[in-house]
Amino acid sequence: MSYKTIVGLEIHSELMTESKVFCDCKVEFGGDSNTNCCPICLGLPGTLPVLNKRVLEFGIRAGLAFNCNIAKETKMDRKNYFYPDLVKGYQISQYDMPLCEKGYVEIDTEEGTKKVRLIRIHIEEDTGKSIHSNDGGSLLDYNRSGVPLIEIVTEPDINSGEEAQAFLENLKSILKYIEVSDCKMEEGSLRCDVNVNVIDEDKDIKTTVTEVKNLNSFKAVAKAIDYETNRHIALLKAGKDAIRETRRWDDMKNETIVMRVKEGVADYRYFPEPDIVGMEIEDNWIKEIRDNLPELPHIKKDRFVSEYDIPVYDAKVLTATKALADFYEETVKYSKDPKQVSNWIMGDVLRRVKDEDIDIEDLRFTAKDLADLINLINEGKISNNIGKKVLRTMFEEGKDPNTVVKEKGLIQINDEDELNKIVDEVLDKNPQSIEDYNNGKDRALGFLVGQVMKATRGKANPQMVNKMLREKMS
Ligand SMILES: [Zn+2]
């Protein structure tokens, strides 16, 4: 039997504008409760919302980056529903005339590149936050009320948890490149809801769509989709259908749990927001925004491959974020060895960045420092292994490599006479190893090289030592 999973995503992304969408209150994460809100945020009687033009600009920027059509005319609508964190009793959103339509995001799959189509991107305001205390009480923080959002809705083009994860990673990367959102899931600035159902392709029947809400990581999205796929297949096998319901992912139990059963489509009684008149978007403005879009990650990736002659894999890793790509290019500028730079960044640098859970922007040394380190190795002034040690000191103390090498006396010993003396001493002390080597035990050579390195505290030129030992023992 053959089953196909069908997934559509709805992504909410908070925009990094300085002020909120309808008032001058600051957009900022954290801060004391209810310190970043005003009568407009709270929709008090007599207040009038004024649309922040930057929000439209950010929405258009996202639309262009995702290949959407930008509306010539658009409007805001009221979405009416009651919830404690929505103090006005309605949310200002967009209904039938969204800012951006169509568009797509490309992902790499085993079968090649796949386009995940977007239905729309619209702008709206965020709600406040309910904080439930241990004693059963609820507190409300309206700092988030009126923070601008874009909602991105996909066609059901995604067919697995893995594809959903790849899609979200590309989407996040682009949103960060164009600097419209910081996409911090842990701070709620990127949120994802998932709609899943399964088709039994032999019988041509499909299950009712289940919605999984409030997923807090891309991994959780992938796991929830895989879990729902299996649940829907089990239902199909039993001749049953899924119920129209909203579920949530439980990270501890590794399963989805029912939140509420949906009773038909909620009636939000949408109507045009009377306090904000219709908006016309001028072609000139769209063109100006398009002209100022930065180079997007997939284009940068292709350019890295052709300009620096590095493998596609390297280019993909290095262009994952704009900051990392900038750091790579800056390092190459000073070192002129693009592949070597890629190896150091993808290896020791990123490993440490990940271990310390920091961003590349937070490094205590500069791109030029890294280039200097690589140059020291290429010029034979320090060995690769010493280079790794120097990098560790650069991470910890933020010193440049020349200073570290000088302070710790790490310059490589390339002097033949000096090395000769040490190699002879090591050979004198290890007659058994010479015999082993001559009996074909290659490990003995490694041991002897190690002894020389130890005697020089890692400073001997390992290639030279290797060659000398072989010559002396033959
Ligand atoms: Zn306000």
What local confidence, expressed as pLDDT, does residue 265 receive?
Answer: 58
**The two structure tokens encoding residue 297:** 């990650």
CA–centroid distance, residue 146 to ligand 1 (Å):
7
Does 263 have pLDDT greater than 80? Answer: no
Give CA–CA dist 168/20, Å, rounded: 25
Q: Mean of the pLDDT values across residues 123-151?
A: 93
Given a contact cutoff of 8 angstroms between Cβ atoms, the answer to whether 161 and 221 are in contact is yes
CA–centroid distance, residue 42 to ligand 1 (Å):
7
Helical residues (DSSP H) of 309-412, grouped into ranges: 312-318, 322-335, 338-344, 350-355, 367-378, 384-397, 401-408
What local confidence, expressed as pLDDT, does residue 83 receive?
Answer: 86
Least confident interval from 27-31, 63-67, 111-115, 118-122: 27-31
- pLDDT of 49-76, one tens digit each? 999 999 999 999 999 999 999 999 999 9
Give CA–CA dist 72/282, Å, rounded: 7
**The two structure tokens encoding residue 293:** 């879009």
Place 1 in a pLDDT band, splitting at 50, 70 and 90.
Answer: confident
What local confidence, expressed as pLDDT, does residue 367 receive?
Answer: 96
Of 255, 251, 245, 205, the residue nearest 225 (C-alpha)? 255
CA–centroid distance, residue 151 to ligand 1 (Å):
21
Of residues 267 and 87, the one with the higher pLDDT is: 87
Q: Mean of the pLDDT values across residues 33-37?
A: 93
CA–centroid distance, residue 201 to ligand 1 (Å):
52
Backbone angles phi, psi at 392, to 5 degrees: -60, -45
Of residues 30 and 295, the one with the higher pLDDT is: 295
CA–centroid distance, residue 40 to ligand 1 (Å):
5
Given a contact cutoff of 8 angstroms between Cβ atoms, the answer to whether 160 and 57 are in contact is no
CA–centroid distance, residue 83 to ligand 1 (Å):
19
CA–centroid distance, residue 354 to ligand 1 (Å):
38
Q: Mean of the pLDDT values across residues 132-137?
A: 87
What local confidence, expressed as pLDDT, does residue 442 receive?
Answer: 82
CA–centroid distance, residue 22 to ligand 1 (Å):
7
Give CA–CA dist 194/58, Å, rounded: 24
Q: Which amino acid is at 15?
A: L
What local confidence, expressed as pLDDT, does residue 197 receive?
Answer: 95
Does 264 have pLDDT greater than 80? Answer: no
CA–centroid distance, residue 267 to ligand 1 (Å):
28
CA–centroid distance, residue 47 to ligand 1 (Å):
10
What local confidence, expressed as pLDDT, does residue 210 receive?
Answer: 95
CA–centroid distance, residue 32 to ligand 1 (Å):
15
Give CA–CA dist 158/152, Å, rounded: 14
CA–centroid distance, residue 138 to ligand 1 (Å):
22
CA–centroid distance, residue 387 to ligand 1 (Å):
53
CA–centroid distance, residue 25 to ligand 1 (Å):
4
Q: Which residue bears the tokens 């310059």? A: 411
Q: Which residues surround ligand 1, an ion (CB under 5 A)?
A: 23, 25, 38, 40-41
The reported pTM is 0.82
CA–centroid distance, residue 178 to ligand 1 (Å):
26
What local confidence, expressed as pLDDT, does residue 440 receive?
Answer: 86
The chain-wide mean pLDDT, for the chain, equals: 92
- pLDDT of 344-365, one tens digit each? 999 999 999 999 888 898 899 9
CA–centroid distance, residue 55 to ligand 1 (Å):
15
CA–centroid distance, residue 29 to ligand 1 (Å):
15
Q: Which residues neighbour 275 within 8 Å (Cβ) at sequence distance 6 or greater? A: 48, 49
CA quadruple 146, 147, 150, 153: dihedral positive or negative? negative
- pLDDT of 70-94, one tens digit each? 999 999 999 998 888 898 999 999 9
CA–centroid distance, residue 13 to ligand 1 (Å):
19
Given a contact cutoff of 8 angstroms between Cβ atoms, the answer to whether 7 and 199 are in contact is no
CA–centroid distance, residue 145 to ligand 1 (Å):
8
**The two structure tokens encoding residue 371:** 């280039």
Q: Percent of the chain, pLDDT > 90?
A: 72
- pLDDT of 290-327, one tens digit each? 999 999 999 999 999 999 999 999 999 999 889 999 99
- pLDDT of 204-253, one tens digit each? 999 999 999 989 899 999 999 999 999 999 999 999 999 889 999 998 99
- pLDDT of 446-457, one tens digit each? 999 999 988 888
CA–centroid distance, residue 245 to ligand 1 (Å):
35
CA–centroid distance, residue 38 to ligand 1 (Å):
4
CA–centroid distance, residue 70 to ligand 1 (Å):
28
Q: Mean of the pLDDT values across residues 141-145?
A: 94
Does 192 have pLDDT greater than 80? Answer: yes
